[in-house]
Amino acid sequence: MSVHVQDNPENRAEQHAVKRIKQSVASFKRKKEKGEKIVTLTCYDYSTARILDDAGMDLLLVGDSLAMTVLGHPNTLSVTMDEMLHHVKAVSRGAHYAMVVADMPFMSYQADHMEAIRNAGRFIQEGGAQAVKLEGASDRMVDVVRHLVEIGIPVMGHLGFTPQSVNTLGGFKVQGKTLEAAKKLIGDALRLQEAGVFALVLEMVPVEVASLITRRLRIPTIGIGAGNVCDGQILVVDDLLGRYSDLSPRFVRRYMSSSTLIKEAVNAYAADIESGNFPNNDTEAFTFPDELMPELAAQFEKIFQQFDRK
């Protein structure tokens, strides 16, 4: 059940089938320079990664949002490194062209530089990701970014509403709405760029502020709730597909209602079982050789009698 249909729904995979190569930091720099939009989604499993990769996504973020959409937590703070790594591995196996970025979960990089390096290294070495993402631009976070970049781990930054700081921010609130807050946001973006991030997520930021940052930075910005002025966009895939309904942010556009479709399919499945229509013995089951049936029938009672005596 689609709620939004493109005027000219060309297949991105067909468009890029001939020239598609594995996306990289250099790819996104070229897109920024050429004014080409970067199309990204979150992703948490192999099968979805295959579909999104075939559809032509430029980047797949294994977001800590899986804490909410996959694991059922009320926020992103509960997901662990091992849980994130489990999903990063799955997505990496399914993404042949899209760049895979692993979200650094809460407390996997904030406490110590060496711990941040070890955890980021696990995402690259064990998980198969090409980059990591972390939130914020405090002096400590900027140092972490610089250390990771220096040892060859690409980093994506994240400013505006940063979900791992939800308790400090006082809930899900737009950031950068005052003059001082906007100035800080712009300064933080420049600091992260100088520290070496290859791209910057701007979440729940006023359009005007996002536009100023996007025009000033040499690196691409990826918006989520920051208007259409950014160099690219990202959504949580479960929001786009209408599969997650616990939250309904203003910036989410649901392109289908897969929860309704899934319920319809499951109800039809249950009805077919109850009516005896599933499975169909002729086309969806396996049969025993006709020539052996007489012998099986003859042995049937003997087998049961042996067990009855026990």
Report the chain's terminal Cα–Cα distance, integer Å.
58
State whether residue 111 is helix, strand or coil: coil
**Which class for 45: exposed (0-12), middle (13-18), buried (19 or more C-beta within 10 A)?**
middle
Q: How far is CA 48 from CA 39, 239, 258, in A?
A: 16, 14, 13
Strands 232-235 and 38-42: parallel
CA 193 to CA 240: how far, in whole Å? Answer: 29
Catalytic positions, written as ranges = 203
- Core vs surface per residue 63-98: b (16+ CB within 10 A) or e: bbbbbbbbeeeebbbebebebbbebbbbbbebbebb
**Residues 95/101/102/103 CA torsion (nearest 10 deg):** -140
Residue pair 43/89 in contact (Cβ under 8 Å)? The answer is no
| Site of tokens 């920024």 | 32
CA 276 to CA 284: how far, in whole Å? Answer: 13
**Which residues neighbour 76 within 8 Å (Cβ) at sequence distance 6 or greater?**
63, 64, 65, 67, 68, 105, 106, 163, 164, 166
